[in-house]
Structure 1
Amino acid sequence: MGTVHAKSLDPLPMHGRDLGVNPDDLVEPPEMEHEAKQEILENKDVVVQHVNIQGLGRTKEDLLGYEISDVFHAKNLIDVMKKAHVARQKLLRLGIFKEVEVLIDTSDGTDALPNGLDVTFEVTEIKRLTGSYNTMVGNNEGSMVLGLKLPNMLGRAEKLTFQFSYGTKETSYGLSFFKPQPGHFERNLTLNMYKVTGQFPWSSLKETDRGMSAEVNFPLGMTNHTLKWEGVWRELGCLARSASFAVREESGHSLKSALSHTVSVDSRNSAIFPNRGALLRINQVSVVLLLVTDLLKELIFNTEPVSDSCSNTQFYLGGPTSVRGFGMYSIGPQSEGDYLGGEAYWAGGLHLYTPLPFRPGKGGFGDLFRTHFFLNAGNLCNLNYGDGPRAHLQKLAECIRWSYGAGIVLRLGNIARLELNYCVPMGVQSGDRYTVFL
């Protein structure tokens, strides 16, 4: 919580400077007035007369009015402090201020009420341009990553971000523009342009995407929704000479237009170590995929849709983020060892996190660890769209993969966790890859 000062609630000094007059003639009336005002502020209702923001540069004042308006509705001093703290958190959430301090004082001036308060937010804006530089090593590749960010670009919490990655194998870049709705930060629009290369060893695929996307996020009741459109020029290739024929025939250029909708309900108190709450997420995707034939030579488009079984437009299942005990994305249809994914899937899990037995390192390093017990289940398949919804649900209920086990979890800050689990995979089907330790 920021520093909250209530200057006028401190006792007034008993003696002032020597001005050549009797101090008792000056001190007693203000002291009585202060005591009366202090009693009003502590025991009776107050009125927030003014809310001031100091330190603004390029930020537009109308944006901040939405975030601090609740302070005016406070009815007593404690309520003022609580609402000022909430307003401070909202201002920091905008991502445009480095620091936000709060000052609460009694009102001054000719219009000041006996129970009037003034609240002042002292802000320090983030620099117009920030940057970062780091190196990354992984997947048999090293890369240098350069990032540039323009926070509060137009004065209403807009953000422009550019990221460039130069690797030993591939070069990628991305340009993103973020725009929240004033007063409703959770309602926002994001526009992206990018080039990115990915390798998918479970499918023996290598993919280079050049595309753009538009994403809208908004809450609705207890749910959060994301609507996203993505247009991508894709170039597919085989990652290894041993790639299956089903993967080889997908190689080449294609255009993808995808519209997706995600709805989620998340009542967890922490995304890393939750001890209460639940998460439900449903994702629906509609994809239109077109082939591009001899584009550079003839500029001719073949608009015949590609087969629905194209593996790089499918869903994948298996691994530590879905069904533990199975290899990464190694559940479902496969051809010659290459996993092709499916058109529909479901996954769920029950998790129990407890402190370490006998609480070693309690109050320190030991609090970063948890004992983990879990039960995961899920299924993935292709659909026959002529059979109807009931047949689809029946197919998703067949051959369910599930697993249970226990392990140790280490929290890495507030953004990630590291797990070591002993898994017992169940419902294993022909072609599935599974593992005991994960």
Structure 2
Amino acid sequence: MGAVHAKAPPSGTLRDSQPTGIKTTSTFAPKKDDNVIKLDIDKIPVRVQRIVVDGLTRTKDDIVIREIRPLLNAKTFDELVHLSYNAKVKMERLGVFKNVVIAIDVSKDNREYGYEVLFEVQEFRRIDGGIHTSISNNDGSLDFQLKMPNILGRGERFSLDYTVGTKRTHGYSAYFKKPLNNNPDIFFGSTAYQFHGEYPWSGYKQTDRGIAFDLTFPTILGSHNIQWEGVWRDLRALTRDTSFSVREQAGHSLKSSLKHTFTIDTRDDPILPTVGMLWRTSQVQFIFRKHFSVLDIETFFNFFYYNFPSYLGQIFQMSLAGGLMRTLDPVASVSISDRFFLGGPLTLRGFNLKGCGPHSHDNALGAESYWLAAAHLYSPLPFRPGKGRFGELFKTHFFVNAGNLGNLDFSGCSKSFLCRVCVKMRWSYGCGIVLCMGRIARLELNYVVPMRVQKGDKANPGLQFGIGIQFL
């Protein structure tokens, strides 16, 4: 793009304003203050004479033209650099290119203020795949994936997955995703799947076969997702000791649901954030066997902020969650696979996994409403071993959490029920160590002291280990 003579690029000059991924050359003048030439690229006029995109094979021209067209309206060199960078980021986020490199040079026809822009693009392979491990909430899995990115030339993506979990779970799925209106934040998705899982805390196993269609789009307030799902479910007793309360729900059922999820996420890290908040609310309307309808509303709220000077590194966190479901038919009941459960290292610490609430012969039955609250204090390790290195991944953890669950009788007094679930709440406190595994998962080893336990609960005092993505 020619030679730029400067002693050092101060703030606002070419080097500071240039985003990564753009090729430039610079020649520095001798270190004499009298010969220093400072360039303000905000005032360098440009006329874009030519734009070249090299490396296109199956990507459609209209997708690329739409992203690079704004470059023709650039008036200054600074504007040209930033418009080029924005086009690069947009095309990479759309999933049409694996890598985009930009080169800006003076026009070959020597016109005044004339420039040419070259986009060197690298498309994804037509068929790709791999084997990797993933971590969910207190579970790990081995995933086999075959994917076809940019399959139709406009950022579409198709993938086939087969998953085997550590807790006798397995399943496979086919997923298709298409961005809409050249916007990577607005997309349509569809999936077909089969999943088999075992749920020993409730004494049953279930196979789901279903299809789903969803639409995701952002707004000023947050992100919305609207999904329709149809599932054929086969619920069976896990062992001969499964209680009758669970066995009577065994068999085949059909579920059709319409779900809306609203999310606001301003966290700086999804695993162990230091600042920001997460608000997620979902409403689900689902129908079984065309006999009755269930309205399910669940809200999850996380708020993170610094409560101490930043040089001390403490993080204070508050979390709230709650859910409520009801049948529109008063004589109908909710399936055990749709109810809420509490307990375990990811939700209400100090209790066994799904160990809170009503049980029948050691099988957790769940409930139709719940609430959870927690306060956490994270701090660096004492004396800061490994400061600036591996030691930064560890945090000490102090917490207090409380919650309750139950079935709300809408025909009776709701006020008395709310008083009961608050007065008879379960709660515990403790401390431990947290290991943050990048953006993959986090591990907790805590010593927990349950302070209030209800009849039928399965408390777990002492050391408790948890691994997952989302902790309350």
TM-score bucket of the superposed structures, by smaller chain: 0.7 to 0.9
- CA 1:40–1:128 in structure 2 vs 1: closer, same or farther (change >3 Å)? same
**2:284 matches 1:258:** no
Shift of the alpha carbon at 1:73?
6.8
Which of 24, 27, 38 is equivalent to 1:6?
24
Shift of the alpha carbon at 1:171?
5.8
**2:435 matches 1:437:** no
- CA 1:208–1:407 in structure 2 vs 1: closer, same or farther (change >3 Å)? same
Kept in 1, the 8 Å contact 2:262–2:282? The answer is: yes
Quote the Cα distance in structure 2 between the aligned partners of 1:102 and 1:433: 61
Kept in 1, the 8 Å contact 2:135–2:440? The answer is: no
- CA 1:417–1:4 in structure 2 vs 1: closer, same or farther (change >3 Å)? same
- CA 1:156–1:85 in structure 2 vs 1: closer, same or farther (change >3 Å)? same
Corresponding residue of 1:222: 221
Shift of the alpha carbon at 1:148?
1.0
Quote the Cα distance in structure 2 between the aligned partners of 1:48 and 1:398: 72
Corresponding residue of 2:159: 161
**2:350 matches 1:332:** no
Kept in 1, the 8 Å contact 2:169–2:197? The answer is: no
* Pairs within 5 Å for 1:12-411: 42=41, 44-47=43-46, 49=48, 51-65=51-65, 76-78=76-78, 80-109=80-109, 112-114=111-113, 116-133=114-131, 145-165=143-163, 172-290=171-289, 307-386=332-411, 397-411=422-436
Query: Does 80-89 or 188-197 show the bigger shift?
Result: 80-89
Kept in 2, the 8 Å contact 1:322–1:348? The answer is: no
Quote the Cα distance in structure 2 between the aligned partners of 1:63 and 1:338: 55
Shift of the alpha carbon at 1:282?
1.6
Partner amino acid, structure 1, of 2:100? V
Secondary structure of the corresponding residue to residue 102 of structure 1? strand
Query: Does 119-128 or 375-384 show the bigger shift?
Result: 375-384
Query: Does 406-415 or 238-247 show the bigger shift?
Result: 406-415
Kept in 1, the 8 Å contact 2:135–2:441? The answer is: no
Shift of the alpha carbon at 1:119?
3.6
Identity, % of aligned positions: 41
Query: Does 350-359 or 167-176 show the bigger shift?
Result: 167-176
Q: Can you list the C-alpha shifts for 1:100-120, whole angstroms capped at 9, x where unaligned?
A: 22223334436x442x54443
Secondary structure of the corresponding residue to residue 289 of structure 2? strand
- CA 1:142–1:383 in structure 2 vs 1: closer, same or farther (change >3 Å)? closer
Aligned residues: 399
Partner amino acid, structure 1, of 2:153? G
Quote the Cα distance in structure 1 between the aligned partners of 2:77 and 2:420: 61
CA RMSD of aligned residues (A): 3.6
Partner amino acid, structure 2, of 1:347? L
- CA 1:386–1:135 in structure 2 vs 1: closer, same or farther (change >3 Å)? same
Kept in 2, the 8 Å contact 1:205–1:237? The answer is: yes
Kept in 2, the 8 Å contact 1:258–1:285? The answer is: yes
Kept in 1, the 8 Å contact 2:193–2:209? The answer is: yes
Quote the Cα distance in structure 2 between the aligned partners of 1:73 and 1:354: 51
Consecutive unaligned residues of structure 1, counting only runs of 5 or more, are: 13-34, 293-303
Kept in 2, the 8 Å contact 1:289–1:306? The answer is: no
Quote the Cα distance in structure 1 between the aligned partners of 2:91 and 2:339: 40
Shift of the alpha carbon at 1:147?
1.9
Partner amino acid, structure 2, of 1:162? L
- CA 1:165–1:106 in structure 2 vs 1: closer, same or farther (change >3 Å)? same
Kept in 1, the 8 Å contact 2:100–2:121? The answer is: yes
Corresponding residue of 1:30: none
Q: Can you list the C-alpha shifts for 1:245-292, whole angstroms capped at 9, x where unaligned?
A: 110111111111122222121111001221101112122222211299
Which structure is higher in helix share?
1
Partner amino acid, structure 2, of 1:179? K
Query: Does 315-324 or 39-48 show the bigger shift?
Result: 39-48
Quote the Cα distance in structure 1 between the aligned partners of 2:336 and 2:215: 27
